Structure 1
Amino acid sequence: MFTGVGLVIANKERSKFYFQQKDETYWIPEYHLKYCFFGGGREKEENAYDTLKRELDEELEPPVAKIILEKSKEVFLNEFINIFGKKCKHFIFEAILSEKEFEEVIKFPIKEGKRGKIFLKEELIEEKFFIETWKILKDYFELKEN
Structure 2
Amino acid sequence: MRIARNNYISVIYGVVVGLLLIEISLVLATPFAAQSWYPFFTVVASAGYKTIYPGPALIAAMLALGVASAFVVPRRYYGVFVVVLIIAAVVAIAILGSLASCATCKWWFCSKVLSCGLEVGWLYVKNICLCYSP
With the length of structure 2 as denominator, give the TM-score of the two structures. 0.29
With the length of structure 1 as denominator, give the TM-score of the two structures. 0.27
Higher relative contact order, structure no. (Cα contacts within 8 Å, ≥ 6 residues apart): 1
User: Whose helix fraction is larger, Structure 1's or Structure 2's?
Assistant: 2
User: Whose strand fraction is larger, Structure 1's or Structure 2's?
Assistant: 1
